[in-house]
């Protein structure tokens, strides 16, 4: 999918690896969007049953990248995350959250392989 998110499928297992090790895999707007897209793709892929979310090089995720949040890209990303009036169904109307897929209600399990 991208350099910042590695997506691998082995059999019926999808592995999503956060790949920003220099930032301890902190999520910036680009990674948040990639995670959102990958989570939606996983949920609609009949060829996989489970996803594992992990981080590269010994760290899971240091949260949202504060340096990115302070820049234009971060401000634009956060400003675009308002929930529209009347929104109540994350299945019928999926929306990205600050970390990407945090507002999704997936139909299949995701396991977080936390370390670091």
Q: Tell me the average pLDDT of the chain.
A: 95
Q: What is the DSSP string of 36-97?
A: HHHHHHHHH-TT--EEEEEESTT----SB-HHHHHSHHHHHHHHTTPPPTT---TTTS---B
Domains by residue range for the chain, with CATH: 5-81+89-113 (3.90.226.10)
Structure tokens at 109: 């399990």
State whether residue 111 is helix, strand or coil.
strand
| Full-model pTM | 0.94
Q: Predicted confidence band at 116 (pLDDT cuts at 50, 70, 90)?
A: low
Q: Predicted confidence band at 115 (pLDDT cuts at 50, 70, 90)?
A: confident
Closest residue by Cα to residue 20 from 8, 37, 34, 40: 34
What pLDDT, in 10s, does the model give residues 40-97?
999 999 999 999 999 999 999 999 999 999 999 999 999 999 999 999 999 999 999 9
């Amino acid at each position: 999918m991208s350099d910042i998110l590695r997506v691998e499928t082995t059999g019926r297992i999808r592995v999503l690896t956060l790949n920003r090790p220099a930032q301890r895999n902190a999520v910036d707007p680009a990674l948040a969007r990639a995670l959102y897209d990958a989570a939606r793709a996983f949920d609609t892929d009949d060829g996989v049953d489970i996803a594992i979310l992990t981080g590269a090089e010994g760290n899971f995720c240091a949260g949202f990248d504060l340096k990115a949040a302070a820049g234009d890209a971060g401000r634009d990303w956060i400003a675009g995350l308002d929930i529209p009036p009347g929104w109540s169904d994350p299945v019928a109307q999926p929306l990205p959250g600050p970390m990407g897929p945090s507002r999704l209600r997936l139909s299949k399990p995701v396991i977080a392989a936390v370390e670091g």
